[in-house]
Chain A
Amino acid sequence: MRSVTSRNTRGRIITGAKAWTLSLLRWALIVGVSYIIVSPLIGIAARSFFSNSDQFNPMVYLIPQTPTLERYRAAIDIMGYADTLPRNLLFVGGLAVIQALVCSMVGYGFARFRFPLKGLLFGCLIVMIVLPSHVIMLPLYMLFQRFDPLGILARMGIAPPNLLASPWPMYIMTLFGAGLRSGLYIYIFTQFFRGLPKEIEEAAEIDGAGAFYTYLRVMLPNAMPSAVTVVIFSVVWQFNDKFYAQLFSISPKIVLSKQISGLQASVSNLYQLRDPSLTTLYLYAGVMLAIVPLLVLYIVLQRRFIEGVERSGIVG
């Protein structure tokens, strides 16, 4: 009797010690990797408050002795932050809403209807997801340089407009389900709608709702987890996108991240600062300003977002 209990307690101690070691290891790993992820961000954030004397003082590490907001003031000024940010958010947000609407529509079509060539079209979707859009950059560039679909304008005697340097190419492509990573979003919605029970639609149909009405009023509200995921992904990727912004030479007045590239040079010209270790501080402030909107968005929507990915049908 006694020996049994002692063996039990010993066993409990051993399993306890094992669990403790395991959780310690887990903590070490997670904290270590989190450090790798967060440390550059902390470094940039801290240094963006450095004054000149802090930057040259070898004793100062992360916490500035004489913090200054001068870098931010200059960066906001040079980047035209107060104007660029709202424009950029409007651009990105508008595209995200279009993405969610168009891609959910197409995804619904793929998930619930049979039509000729469906297999082929779904194959085209996979091609679109996998094909890097860099392969078609030159034709896209030329298409929007003289935007004249099917030669209609030329036949009517109107000179085709040059849409480059405007946000229009992006809107047009997104509207036709060919925007930035639209293929992936369509796929997400298709998988999600496939997982929904058919009874919901049947009920709507029996009640006399048309197919489009059913989609808009019944299916889309049910697809909210996917829609949230798609909107957030779309906002983030569009905000960070460099390729299309460069290809269509979209104006830096709309694209904040483009302002970053020239920031350091403008600072050194404007303030006659030749020392890169000082102009870098302005760049850090600019980077913080560009990151903050996304960070706020993420902090607000973080929980819904990760849950959304888990339920959105990426997994199938």
Chain B
Amino acid sequence: MTASVNRRITGRAPLRKRRLSLSARRSAVGLAFVSPFVVGFIAFYLRGLLLTVEFSLSDLSLRPNGGYDLAFVGLKHYIYAFREHATFKQILTSSIGDMALDVPLILFFSLFMAILLNQRFRGRTLARAIFFLPVLLNAPAIADALELSRAMMLGGTSPASAAVTQAAGSGGVNVSYYVGMLADLGMPRAALDYIVGAVERINGIITSSGVQLVIFLAALQSISPALYEVARIEGATAYESFWKITFPMVSPLIVTNMVYTLVDSFVSSDAINLSFDTIFGASKQYGLGSAFSLVSMAALCGILMISSGVVSRRAFYQN
């Protein structure tokens, strides 16, 4: 008994020690590679998140020479945000509502266009280049400046600007006439409103689906042509091979793209702008702004978890 224990210790210990040290060295090297990220995550993200929680529970006043004082006030800011603040609830719900409307449209549009661009035709390279342009030109600062100048033109009093505005408004199709006609034909009103809203926002939808489109394109390219060949030999129609091959194969990336789209549209939403303005605007309500951003982040996390849970259960994973 003791001999065997002894032998186990003496016989195996050096070997195990050596193997351990090798794997330990390997894991140390791995940690060294990852270390910048670990430091960055702890120093900026973890610390930031904890401090934001702390700020949201306190009244914060900045000292003139830098640094700050905290006075713990409990849930005051949260209660204020939900009970008293004039616009927070509306802005949050409308941000979430816009997201819920836009995300399915963006996903559908980018998948559809990716399938179209994946086919062989002349000018395909050019078309792809054009479809990716919006990602390049999506600069919020420039968009804001253009928006401002448009607003100035609309509000402008000079006759020239009025003429320009009128000229811009006079063209186009009378949409409400067609909507009324379709409604008379018995189309459900809610569906009509959704479609009209989608058409009105077509610009935003197209410009915010560049990255998703490229990801879907990459996914489509990675599907083996042999699958389609087999399907064709077995007599599947194009419609069937779309639903049985293409759709399942890209379905994991629907989840990826959905998460990307949700986060992307949330970052530019009014709820985020509100918390930025509350903190850095004229009022400098640090605690309240922190509470705003935490509440909207919690909302985003909830939406992400629910939607990716629902969709990824239906997605097809190869392994």
Mask of B83-127 contacts with A, CB within 8 angstroms, 1/0: 000000000000000000000000000000100110101000101
Partner of B23, one of A26, A114, A215: A114
Contact assessment for B161 and A176 in the assembled complex, using a CB-CB cutoff below 8 Å: no
Task: Please give the number of chain A residues whose Cβ is less than 8 angstroms from any Cβ of chain B in the complex.
Answer: 100
B218 contacts across to A, CB distance below 8 A: 309-311, 314-315
Partner of B267, one of A36, A41, A134, A146: A134
Contact assessment for B66 and A162 in the assembled complex, using a CB-CB cutoff below 8 Å: yes
Indicate whether B67 reaches chain A with its CB closer than 8 angstroms: yes
Contact assessment for B142 and A310 in the assembled complex, using a CB-CB cutoff below 8 Å: no
> With A127-B45, A283-B145 as given contacts, are A309 and B214 in contact (CB-CB < 8 Å)?
yes
B125 contacts across to A, CB distance below 8 A: 302-303
Indicate whether B315 reaches chain A with its CB closer than 8 angstroms: no
Indicate whether B21 reaches chain A with its CB closer than 8 angstroms: no
Contact assessment for B153 and A280 in the assembled complex, using a CB-CB cutoff below 8 Å: yes
Indicate whether B247 reaches chain A with its CB closer than 8 angstroms: no
- CA distance in complex: A280, B164 (Å): 12
Least distance between B236 CB and chain A CB atoms (Å): 17
B276 contacts across to A, CB distance below 8 A: 134, 137, 246
Contact assessment for B30 and A215 in the assembled complex, using a CB-CB cutoff below 8 Å: no
Indicate whether A116 reaches chain B with its CB closer than 8 angstroms: yes
- CA distance in complex: A316, B272 (Å): 31
Partner of B41, one of A26, A55, A128, A236: A128
> With A37-B134, A137-B293, A306-B128 as given contacts, are A124 and B41 in contact (CB-CB < 8 Å)?
yes
Contact assessment for A240 and B146 in the assembled complex, using a CB-CB cutoff below 8 Å: no
Contact assessment for B40 and A176 in the assembled complex, using a CB-CB cutoff below 8 Å: yes
Contact assessment for B215 and A130 in the assembled complex, using a CB-CB cutoff below 8 Å: no
Mask of B224-253 contacts with A, CB within 8 angstroms, 1/0: 000000000000000000000000000011
> With A132-B267, A178-B45, A276-B152 as given contacts, are A294 and B137 in contact (CB-CB < 8 Å)?
yes
State which of B7-15, B176-184, B199-207 sits at the interface with chain A: B199-207
Give chain B's interface secondary structure class: helix
Contact assessment for B145 and A287 in the assembled complex, using a CB-CB cutoff below 8 Å: yes
- CA distance in complex: A239, B293 (Å): 25
From B43, which residue of chain A is reached at the shortest CB distance?
Answer: A176
Indicate whether B29 reaches chain A with its CB closer than 8 angstroms: yes
> With A56-B160, A116-B27, A121-B34 as given contacts, are A138 and B142 in contact (CB-CB < 8 Å)?
no
Partner of B52, one of A105, A106, A139: A139
Contact assessment for A257 and B142 in the assembled complex, using a CB-CB cutoff below 8 Å: yes
From B34, which residue of chain A is reached at the shortest CB distance?
Answer: A109
Partner of B136, one of A211, A275, A294: A294
Least distance between A311 CB and chain B CB atoms (Å): 8
Indicate whether B6 reaches chain A with its CB closer than 8 angstroms: no
A291 contacts across to B, CB distance below 8 A: 136-137, 142
State which of A3-11, A88-96, A260-268 sits at the interface with chain B: A260-268
B161 contacts across to A, CB distance below 8 A: 275-277
Indicate whether A23 reaches chain B with its CB closer than 8 angstroms: yes
Indicate whether B286 reaches chain A with its CB closer than 8 angstroms: yes
Contact assessment for A236 and B27 in the assembled complex, using a CB-CB cutoff below 8 Å: no
Mask of A270-293 contacts with B, CB within 8 angstroms, 1/0: 000011111110010011001100
Q: Name 11 extra pairs, CB < 8 A, besides A137-B293, A178-B45, A309-B214.
A: A118-B30, A125-B37, A127-B45, A132-B300, A138-B55, A215-B33, A245-B141, A280-B149, A283-B146, A309-B217, A310-B214
Query: Could you give 5 example pairs across A and B, Cβ below 8 Å?
Result: A135-B294, A242-B144, A257-B139, A260-B141, A276-B156
- Interface residues of A, Cβ cutoff 8 Å to B: 23, 26-27, 29-30, 33-34, 36-38, 41, 44, 55-56, 58, 102, 105-106, 108-110, 112-116, 118, 121, 124-125, 127-132, 134-143, 145-146, 149, 160, 162, 173, 175-178, 182, 186, 211-212, 215, 236, 239-240, 242-243, 245-247, 257-258, 260-261, 263-264, 274-280, 283, 286-287, 290-291, 294-295, 298-299, 302-303, 306, 309-311, 314-316
- Interface residues of B, Cβ cutoff 8 Å to A: 23, 26-34, 36-41, 43-49, 51-52, 55, 66-68, 113, 116-117, 119, 121, 125, 127-142, 144-146, 148-149, 152-153, 156, 158, 160-161, 163-164, 167, 202-203, 206-207, 214-215, 217-219, 221-222, 252-253, 259, 263, 266-267, 272, 275-276, 279-280, 286, 289-290, 293-294, 297, 300-301, 304
